Amino acid sequence: MESSTSRRIILFGQQNLQNSILIGFIHQRTNIDCQLINTPEWRADWNEFEGQTLALIDADCARTERLQDLLEQIFDQAEDVQVAFFNTQNTSPVERLMAWPMVNGIFYKESSQQQLVKGITGIFEGEFWLSRRLMAQYLERTRSKPRKVTHNANLLTRREKQILNLTATGATNTEIAAHLNVSMHTVKTHIYNLFKKIDVSNRIQAVNWAKDNLEGIAQESVI
Q: Does residue 147 lie within any of the structural domains?
A: no
- Asked whether residue 24 falls in the same domain as residue 64, the answer is yes
Residue 218 has pLDDT above 50, yes or no: no
For the chain, the average pLDDT equals: 85
The pLDDT > 70 percentage for the chain reads 88
Average pLDDT over residues 102-109: 94
Average pLDDT on 121-143 reads 88
Residue 71 confidence (pLDDT): 94
Of the ranges 38-47, 55-64, 203-212, which one carries the lowest mean pLDDT score?
A: 203-212
pLDDT in tens, 15-52: 999 999 999 999 999 999 999 999 999 988 888 888 88
Rounded to an integer, what distance in angstroms lies between the CA atom of residue 139 and that of residue 79? 29
Q: Which of 142, 176, 200 is the last residue of a domain?
A: 142
**Residue 1 included in any domain:** no
- Say which residue, 93 or 1, is predicted with more confidence: 93
Model's pTM, two decimal places?
Answer: 0.67
Same domain, 107 and 179: no
Residues 111 and 130 in one domain: yes
- Same-domain check for residues 128 and 165: no
- Total structural domains in the chain? 2
- CATH code for the domain in which residue 89 is found: 3.40.50.2300
Q: Choose the final residue of a domain: 115, 142, 169.
A: 142
Identify the domain containing residue 22 by its residue range. 7-142
- Span 198-218, average pLDDT: 77
Cα 179–chain centre separation: 19
